[in-house]
Amino acid sequence: MHRACPRPLTASTVLGWPLRRSYRHATAHVGDQEVRWGERTLIMGVLNATPDSFSGHGVLDRPDLAVELATAMASVGADVVDVGGESTRPGAADVAPEEQIRRVVPIVAGIAAAVSVPVSIDTSSALVAAAALDAGAVMVNDVRGLRAEDLAALVAERDVPVVIMHNQRLQPSGDDVIGDVRQGFEAAIDRATAAGIGTHRLIVDPGFGFGWSTGQNLEMLRRLPELWYLGLPLLVGTSRKSTIGAALADPGGHPRPAAGRDWGTAATVAQAICAGVDVVRVHDVADMADVVAVTDAIVR
């Protein structure tokens, strides 16, 4: 016996029903590739060129290995490879722009020459972003939401896509998760437009894991459809983060280590896609590509 739908399909309907979103701009270009928002979920593969990231890849000072890893990511479904030279985990030390450049530029250049998928540079520094763009990157991922005026000016000058993240560590409040994210997004969009960045170049990231408690991170995932009003593509990066470790804690309350969080990550990826996310940022591209394909088949 078939059960009738008990409620109308609205933006608050998250799991179990196909969702509809509207976008300010139906298409975008990332490098020479055209993206049609809403047709499928894009996968951003993470490639950390750091010694201290909780999900480092051992490619620091090994651009040859980085190219191999990026090639493998592309072969199993990555749409973008995101290269970073500074860990953003809680408590990580700042890395000078000159050291970030030393770490990432050979890797970006090697990947751009060998792999057809676009390369993104994960940085909040205009100096690092400029060097990476010169080396072949075609996109910027800024976890500080364009607070640096020189980075905003650079993105406008180069006319490249930019991910602007709401970073709760920089404006702690926590009374209303989505309210704080909205406020952060609107301020970041104002900074972008003031610098001359077209809204067709913007992708927004609510900053899962950046200054939120476990409960707040999970609430964020449940309430993602409340961010549709912006009309901008949404990116979410939950991969292997501490909230997943907490949800998978053992009976003694010890969080699951990062290396054992991929199945938990899969659950958050599926939930985010059901909630209308356009890009998922992940470490394990091969397995998450299967999650994306099946979830897209259900909700798209």
Known catalytic residues?
241, 281
Count Cα neighbours of 112 within 13 Å in the Cβ-side half-sphere.
20
C-beta neighbour count of 214 within 10 angstroms:
17
**CA-CA distance, 11 to 228, in Å (whole number)?**
8
**CA-CA distance, 38 to 190, in Å (whole number)?**
24
Query: Is the separation of the CB atoms in 14 and 276 below 8 Å?
Result: no
Helices first, then strands: H and E counts in the chain: 9, 10
Of 116, 82, 118, 123, residue with least CA distance to 102: 123
**CA-CA distance, 42 to 300, in Å (whole number)?**
13
